[in-house]
């Protein structure tokens, strides 16, 4: 076999030799050749160095990928913890607010409530104020399918340091806006034609008042 052929055969076998895939007899021939040929020995060493560099680059790449995924998991974990903490905080705030606003409140007796009606142009406001010191009124309502209030529940609560107590100490109210005596303006901009059947129910502990919505309208507005 010529020297050129020997080089060609060696270069073909070199990758398999490095990966230890060649036979024992072939290994002997390759090792004999590299002991005699500086060029092939350098070629083999260079190939080994390149493979080591490739392996090192691959390890670095894998490490970068692992580090990246660790960072992503860490960020996701932190984000999840923040979300959970935020939701928990909101829940606690809502529970606290519910406790201060709704716990230990009761339907008020009508004798403990000062009721008034204020007319301003075409707006009518029903106001409810606790007669007892350090008490305040909370109103809850029910609305019709048209979107206007037809039932008011009057609750009483002892004063505390909550925001509702500060805001409602001078009374709670519900406002209606009229276009005319027979027409109620709704919050969505639509109009509701009133009939004698359209009533407002005010629920106290001891009694229920029923008022015709048409009777709330201040007819003096028509004279202006």
Residues 76 and 123 in one domain: no
Residues 114 and 213 in one domain: yes
pLDDT at site 221: 55
Residues 90 and 111 in one domain: no
Residues 63 and 125 in one domain: no
Distance CA 9, CA 12 (A): 5
Residues 110 and 74 in one domain: no
The side-by-side arrangement of strands in the sheet containing 191-193 is 113-120, 123-130, 172-180, 183-185, 191-193
Contacts of 39 (CB under 8 A, 6+ apart): 7
Whether the per-residue pLDDT at 98 is higher than 60: the answer is: yes
Residues 110 and 215 in one domain: yes
Per residue in 12-37, pLDDT tens? 888 888 788 888 888 888 888 888 88
Residues 187 and 213 in one domain: yes
Question: Residues 130-147: what's their mean pLDDT?
Answer: 88
- Residue 132 is given by DSSP the state S
Residues 47 and 122 in one domain: no
Residues 120 and 59 in one domain: no
Q: Where in the sequence is the domain holding 34, given as residue range(s)?
A: 3-97
Residues 110 and 218 in one domain: yes
Total domain count, the chain: 2
pLDDT at site 2: 42
Residues 74 and 112 in one domain: no
């Amino acid at each position: 076999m010529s020297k050129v052929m020997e080089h060609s055969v060696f270069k073909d076998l070199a990758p398999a030799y490095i990966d230890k895939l060649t036979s024992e007899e072939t290994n002997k021939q390759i090792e004999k050749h590299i002991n005699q040929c500086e060029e092939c020995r350098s070629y083999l060493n260079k190939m080994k160095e390149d493979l080591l560099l490739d392996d090192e680059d691959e390890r670095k790449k894998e490490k970068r990928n692992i580090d990246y995924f660790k960072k992503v998991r860490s960020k996701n974990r932190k984000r999840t913890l923040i979300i959970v903490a935020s939701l928990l905080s909101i829940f606690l705030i809502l529970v606290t607010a519910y406790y201060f606003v709704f716990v230990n409140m009761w339907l008020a007796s009508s004798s403990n409530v000062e009721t008034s009606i204020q007319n301003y142009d075409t707006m009518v406001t029903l106001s409810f104020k606790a007669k007892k010191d350090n008490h305040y009124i909370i109103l809850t309502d029910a609305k019709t399918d048209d979107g206007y209030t037809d039932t008011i529940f009057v609750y009483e609560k002892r004063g505390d340091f909550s925001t509702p107590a500060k805001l409602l100490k001078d009374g709670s109210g519900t406002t209606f806006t009229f276009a005319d005596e027979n027409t109620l303006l709704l919050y969505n901009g639509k109009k509701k034609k009133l009939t004698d059947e359209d009533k407002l129910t005010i629920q106290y502990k001891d009694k229920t008042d029923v008022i015709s919505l048409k009777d709330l309208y201040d007819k003096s507005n028509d004279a202006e």
